[in-house]
Amino acid sequence: MSADTNPAENTELLANPPVDGSELIRFDKVTKRFGDNTVLDRLDFSVDSGKHVTLIGPSGSGKTTILRLLMTLTEPDEGTIRVGGDYLTHEERNGKLVRAGEKHIREVRKNIGMVFQQFNLFPNMKVLRNITEAPVTVLGLSKDEAEQRARDLLELVGLTEHIDKYPTQLSGGQQQRVAIARALAMRPQVLLLDEVTSALDPELVAGVLDVLRDIARTTDITMLCVTHEMSFARDISDQVLMFDSGRVIESGPPEKIFSEPEQERTREFLSAVL
Amino acid sequence: MSWDWNVVDDFMPRFWDGVLVTLQALAIGTLIAFALGLVWALAQRSAQAWVRWPVVAVTEFIRNTPLLVQLFFLFYVVPNFGPSMSPLTTGIVGLGLHYSTYTAEVYRAGIDGVPAGQWEAATALSLSKGRTWRAVILPQAIRRVVPPLGNYVVAMLKDSPMIATIGAFDMLGEAQAFSNETFTTEALTVVGVAFIVIAYPASLLIRALERRLVR
């Protein structure tokens, strides 16, 4: 499969704007409520480009909400989010910050890709078209270019022989690998991974995680990952953020968070999931 | 009273005239109902209240008044201020319009049935609104609603004799007129059989389509 793919080749395949380690994502005092429930409470955090960041914490602590905010699937009640220096849901007009129009949001959003817990492949399209649809209609690639890109990515995720199948003909693990290829085909700067193995049968988890490890190792794509797979988090992360009640209560490199956490709450959480 | 094949023979020329009217009404009426219903369903989801609201009002009104009244209105009242149409055209428009308000509900249910994750995936890929509808949502929604849409085709066939009341003589209209003139009943039986001959294969076709589409 992809384990011995030449890293240089992959970097080419997933060419991002050059990664300089500068700040790519910034949340400024972001608050998100669902009814009376405050999921995120004036959250501040930032991610530097090229970093692989894992968000951990008990369910309901707001991790998935962060990814959904970045993907503009939901909007913050207060605060601002910036991606690559651009406001995500706001625009500066005459020195004032106003709600952004659809066009602005789409432009910023193009830099972000997402893989969902439930795969969400388009069941009416074959694998190939699932991957080429957006590059052709959104990025304006020619059909040939998009198909070549799709073939390269399917090779990366080890599914070349399934190119002409419909999603329902694939196992959950295979579908999720197609979903990863589909997200990467847009060459996003940021890849959001929302509990991508939670819906999979246990024996299919490893295949998906191997693909992601590969991508994390051989590309400089920025990753934001919500997962309950702690060994995976340990493998790929540059930084782990521990969430509780909508706030980051502890952060650091995985060795530190997993081996010698400072917060009692982190220790409790880790002993429950490990 | 005994069955007389000579009466059936005499009826045949008019019967075929009637069949032609019935099939025309059914085919074109179906096209109108399917196309217009989709327009209503999409308009009802519009973000603009001034689009949504009138469409909801009009479709509710049409769905909750009798087809017969609508046919009379189209034929006798509309020409006073609008276009004047032949009986057959009026009948086809009436059937199509009436049934479009039902197919709109079917489309709506089909669209609502597409999982939220499909919209989210389309957003995550930055697909445009139009592309999301055309490439992702509608193909999945329509696949789901073929069976109920097909049922409305059969229902429309069964309602088609109503257009005879405004002078578009379908098979039943022809049969009734023929029977009244000749004091016979064979023609009515012939038409009864003809309805089954058209409707039953249609039902089978819908079921076959359903098996093919649902996977």
The band of A107, judged by pLDDT with boundaries at 50, 70 and 90, is confident
pLDDT at A95: 77
- Show the domain range for B9: 5-213
| Averaged pLDDT, A213-232 | 90
Which helix H or strand E contains B149, and what residues bound it? helix B138-159
* Total structural domains within chain B: 1
The band of A6, judged by pLDDT with boundaries at 50, 70 and 90, is very low
* Low-confidence winner among A87-91, A174-178, A240-244, B96-100 (lowest mean pLDDT): A87-91
Among residues A202, A116, A104, which one has the least CA distance to residue A167? A116
Indicate which of B125, B132, B137, B213 best probes the interface with A, i.e. most A CBs within 10 Å of its own CB. B125
Residues in chain A closer than 8 A to B139 (CB atoms):
124
Looking at CA atoms only, how far is residue A134 from chain B in angstroms? 6
Whether A56 and A242 have beta carbons less than 8 Å apart is answered as: yes
Percent of the residues in chain A that have a pLDDT greater than 90, as a whole number:
61
Q: What is the pLDDT of residues A62-81, one digit of tens each?
A: 899 999 999 999 999 999 99
Residue B205 has pLDDT above 50, yes or no: yes
Q: How far is CA B45 from CA B39, B41, B105, B110, in A?
A: 10, 7, 12, 13
Q: How far is CA A176 from CA A77, B23, B29, B145, in A?
A: 31, 49, 44, 28
Quote the CA–CA distance of A166 and B140 in Å, as a whole number: 13
Percent of the residues in chain A that have a pLDDT greater than 70, as a whole number:
92
Retrieve residue A70's tokens.
Answer: 């970045």
Cβ-Cβ contacts under 8 Å for A1 (sequence gap 6 or more): A158, A210
Among residues A24, A60, A26, A28, which one has the least CA distance to residue A42? A28
Where residue B123 sits, what CATH number does that domain have?
1.10.3720.10
Residue A38 has pLDDT above 80, yes or no: yes
State the pairing for strand pair A86-87/A96-99: unpaired
Cβ-Cβ contacts under 8 Å for B10 (sequence gap 6 or more): B178, B182
Among residues B42, B71, B44, which one has the least CA distance to residue B58? B44
A-chain residue closest to B141, CA distance: A124
The band of A187, judged by pLDDT with boundaries at 50, 70 and 90, is very high
pLDDT at A8: 42
Whether A163 and A127 have beta carbons less than 8 Å apart is answered as: yes
Inter-chain touch A113–B135, beta carbons under 8 Å: no
Among residues B90, B86, B41, B89, which one has the least CA distance to residue B63? B41
- The ipTM of this complex is 0.89
Among residues B131, B121, B128, B116, which one has the least CA distance to residue A180? B121
Inter-chain touch B124–A122, beta carbons under 8 Å: no
Q: Which of B115, B125, B140 sits opposite A186 (nearest CB)?
A: B125
Q: Would you tell me how many other CB atoms lie within 10 Å of the CB of residue A120?
A: 24
* Low-confidence winner among A139-148, A241-250, B48-57 (lowest mean pLDDT): A241-250
Which numeric CATH code is attached to A21-111+190-274?
A: 3.40.50.300
Residue B141 has pLDDT above 80, yes or no: yes
| Averaged pLDDT, A5-27 | 63
| Averaged pLDDT, B161-173 | 94
Quote the CA–CA distance of B177 and B170 in Å, as a whole number: 11
**Parts of chain A belonging to CATH 3.40.50.300:** 21-111+190-274
Q: How many CB pairs under 8 A join A and B?
A: 61
| Averaged pLDDT, A6-34 | 71
Looking at CA atoms only, how far is residue B146 from chain A in angstroms? 15
Quote the CA–CA distance of B29 and B9 in Å, as a whole number: 30
